[in-house]
Amino acid sequence: MRSVVSRRRLLAGLLLAPLLTGCFASGGGDGTSEGDAAGGSRLRVALAFPPAENLSPYGADATLLSRLGVTEGLTALDANGSAAPALATSWTRENDRTWMFTLREAAFQDGEKVTPDAVASALTHAAEADPEPAALSGVTLEAAKEGSDKVRVTTDAPDPALPLRLTSPGLAILSPKAYGDARPDPVGTATGPFELTEVNGATAATLDRFDDYWGGRAQAAGIDARFIADGTARTNALRTGQVDIAEAVPVSQAASLDQETRKETATTRTTSLLLNTKSGAFEDAGLRAAAREAIDTSVFAEDVYEGVADPGAGIYGPAVTWAADLRTAPTGRAEATDPDGTTVTIATYDNRPELPEVAQVLQQQLERAGFTVKLEVREYSRLESDALAGKFDAFVGARNTLLDTGDPVSILASDYTCDGAYNLALLCDKDVDRAVEEAEGLADTDKRRRAAMAAEAAVLGTDAVVPLVHQRIITGVGTDVQGVILDPYERTLVGTGTRR
C-alpha cells in the first residue's frame, strides 16, 4: 500500500510542468471590477465529470448544470443547510401534504416569463420522469397554478422536508420549450446567470451570460467549460494557464499547485464500498460481514487521501456537524463467515482519481481475508447503468450525502430502500424501509435528525455499505480569479460574482 502511494507521489513530481455567492466561502469579490464595465472576461472551467445523459437535469448531469450557474429550483440551500429563496420568494405549509410557493418575477433564458403554469409543468415533468430524479425517490407530488404568482405542491404522503427537497439540482425549473423530447433540453431554457448555448458531446460546453437574470448581471461574460475526466490532466490545465478553475484536484496533484491556487473545502461527501445484496457473493450477509471486518478505514484517510479526509464513521461524516453526537451502533449485523477464496468483482470510476487506488487497497485487504478480488475501472458515464443493474459484486463510489435534497433522510430513501432510485447496493430490507419511513414523517428538525441516525444504524447493520472516508475536496483556482463558490454541498461553483 505504501508502495502505491510512493509511486503516485513520484508521478506527481514528474508531472510538475448566484445568488449563493455570499452563502459559502469564496475566493473574494466585492461586486465591482474593471472587467465588468467592459463586458467581463470569460471563465475557463475544467470539470471532472463529462455529461452522462445529454445534460438531462434528472440524473447525474443535474449537478453539472447547477455548478455552472445554468439551472435553479424554487428553493436553494443556504450555508446552514436550510432552504432559502430562489425562484420562490416564500412558502407556507397549508396542511400535512400541501405547500404554497410564491414566485418572484423572473425570466427564462428563451425570453419567456417564469409563470405558475411553467413552474407547475416543470415539476410535473420531473415527477413523471423515468427513472425519477433521486430527490423524488419514494415521493409522489403534484403541482398546480394558483393565481398569478403562486404554485401549490401536493404530495401523496406528508413531506415535512419538501422545501429542502425542492433545492435539488434534479428539480430545476426549465422553460416549457425544454420538454419537447424524451429528455428535457437545458440549452437556452433555464433561469440561471449563465445560459448554456452549445454542447460539444462529452468534451466541452459554451455558456454566455444571461443579462436578464433576476439576481443581477453576472460579472463574467461567459464560461468555456471543458470536461476532463483525468485528474492529472485537469490539474495541469490549471497549472499551465489553460483553465481558470479546476474542480476536484486529486490529492496526489495538490503539491503541484501554488498555495494560493489550492482551495480546500470540507464537504458532506463520503467514499464508500457498496455491496450487492441482491445477487452474487454478497447476497450472503455473512460474507458482507467478513468484508466489513477485513477493512481498515484509517488506511484510506492517511495514505490514499494523504490526510485530506477522515476515516469512515458512518453514512454522514464530520461535515454533517450534528451527526456524531446522535450516532448509535449498527443493529442486527450477521456473523462473519469464511470467504474461502470466494471471487468478487469491485467496480469503480476514474473521474475521481483516488477511487481506483481505494479499490486497489480494498483488493489487498479483502484478499488477505480470503477473498479473490477482480477490479473493474471505467469512466463514470460508462459504469453507472451497469452498477445500478447489479452487474458487479461491489462498487466503490464517492457520494455527497446532502447533494440531492439537503435532507439527511432523503439519501437514505434514495440509496438504501427497496424503491430507491440510486440503490447501488440493491438493498431491500423491511427494517431499513420502516426506519426510513418513520424518519420521513417527522417535521421537527431534532426528531428528524435522531430518526435519520436510527435509520443509518439499520442500514449499517445490513453491511450493504462500508463507509471508508469522509472527504475534503480541493479546488484549483487561478490567482486572478475571484468569487469562486466553495460549496460544501458541491452544488455550486460559479455565480454572479465569479470573475477574473
Which parts of the chain register pLDDT below 50? 1-38
Q: Strand 245-246 vs strand 465-477: parallel, antiparallel, or unpaired? A: antiparallel
Question: What is residue 443's predicted lDDT score, i.e. its pLDDT?
Answer: 83
| Domain range 71-178, its CATH number among 1.10.10.10, 3.30.70.260, 3.90.76.10, 3.40.50.920 | 3.90.76.10
CATH architecture, range 2-56+192-258+479-486: 3-Layer(aba) Sandwich (3.40)
302 alpha carbon, distance to own chain's centre: 24
CATH 3.10.105.10 range(s) for the chain read 266-472
pLDDT score of 19: 35
- Which residue type is seen at 136? L
Q: Nearest 5°: phi and psi at 330? A: -55, 145
Q: Estimate to the nearest angstrom the gap between the alpha carbon of 61 and the chain centroid.
A: 10
Average pLDDT of every residue of the chain: 89
- Asked if 359 and 330 touch (Cβ cutoff 8 Å), the reply is no
pLDDT of residue 16: 33
Per-residue model confidence (pLDDT) at position 84: 95
C-alpha cell read off for 378: 471505467
List every span in the chain annotated with CATH 3.40.190.10: 2-56+192-258+479-486
pLDDT at 22: 36
pLDDT at 38: 44
Task: Write down the pLDDT at residue 6.
Answer: 37
**Which pLDDT tens digit goes with each residue over 275-298?**
999 999 999 999 999 999 999 999
Cα angle value 89/93/96 (rounded, 5°): 150
In a 13 Å sphere around the CA of 487, the CA atoms on its Cβ side amount to: 30
Domain 266-472 annotated CATH 3.10.105.10: yes
DSSP string, 65-118: HHHTT----SEEE-TTS-EEESSEEEEEEEETTEEEEEEPS-B-TTS-B--HHH
Q: What is the DSSP letter of 415?
A: H
Name the grid cell of 146. Answer: 394558483
